[in-house]
Structure 1
Amino acid sequence: MALAGFLKSLFFVASPWIALLASLVLAILNALVKPFLMILSLPITVVTLGLFSIVINGLMLQLTAALVGQDFRFSSFGASMLVAVLMSLCNTIISNYVGHGNTD
């Protein structure tokens, strides 16, 4: 939802409830469909040193948009890949700083 506010020209989310629905759909797709896509694309992922996984993440976001409907959409496939990269960066930053107790 925060990314949609910053990138208004790239993708649209109608409401926080739609964002919640989209995150649920994306989680289900990542659990059920993404492993098969990763296995099928393993050769090209190895050749591109893992960069093809960005394309797969963009594809997962496009599939999510198709399932959720017009309340969650991207302006292009490139926009979904950019959002996938930004979501990965945000996830990495949050994962590194949240949940780690101070061991001092």
Structure 2
Amino acid sequence: MKLILRILLTAIAVVVLAEFLPGITLTEGYKSAIIVAIVLGILRVTVKPLLIFFTLPATIVTLGLFLLVINAVIILLAGYFVDGFTVSGFWTALLFSLLLSIFQSILYSFLKESKEK
């Protein structure tokens, strides 16, 4: 149940960001946003660890800032795989990934269960 809520919250964040960022377009609205959320989840689980492993020296030298580049590449890959979602360039993908991470952390904080009994 929590996974479905996370996908829906990510889709909401994608729709909001696509409305405000000029280089991001969603042609099919919420349907594309849900597909983007699912594809981003799959790419983050499968491709991102491989990219982190192969770019570990660059990540260490830049003190972790290269992870922002990896996140932008994941967004660009999602734009490549999803037909209704387009990203105009690398810098737009970088800004989108930063803002998406911020929105996700805010929205996911509402899903935290209280541990008090």
Corresponding residue for 1:19? 33
SS at match of 1:101: coil
- Which one-letter code corresponds to 1:47 in the other structure? V
User: Which stretches in structure 1 are left out of the alignment for 5+ residues?
Assistant: none
- Which one-letter code corresponds to 1:88 in the other structure? S
Per-residue deviation, 1:44: 0.7
- Which one-letter code corresponds to 2:101 in the other structure? S
Q: How many residues align?
A: 102
Matched, 1:89 2:102: yes
- Which one-letter code corresponds to 2:31 in the other structure? W
Matched, 1:79 2:92: yes
For residues 53 and 44 of structure 1, the distance between their equivalents in structure 2, rounded to whole angstroms, comes to 9
Matched, 1:54 2:68: yes
User: Which stretches in structure 2 are left out of the alignment for 5+ residues?
Assistant: 1-14
Q: Per-residue displacement from partner, 1:2-36 (whole Å, max 9, x unpaired)?
A: 111111x1210121001111111111111111110
Per-residue deviation, 1:76: 1.0
Matched, 1:5 2:19: yes
RMSD: 1.7
Per-residue deviation, 1:100: 4.5
Please give the TM-score of this superposition, normalised by the length of structure 1.
0.87
For residues 16 and 96 of structure 1, the distance between their equivalents in structure 2, rounded to whole angstroms, comes to 22
Please give the TM-score of this superposition, normalised by the length of structure 2.
0.78
Of 53, 66, 84, the residue aligned with 1:39 is 53
Higher mean C-alpha deviation, range 92-101 or range 72-81: 92-101
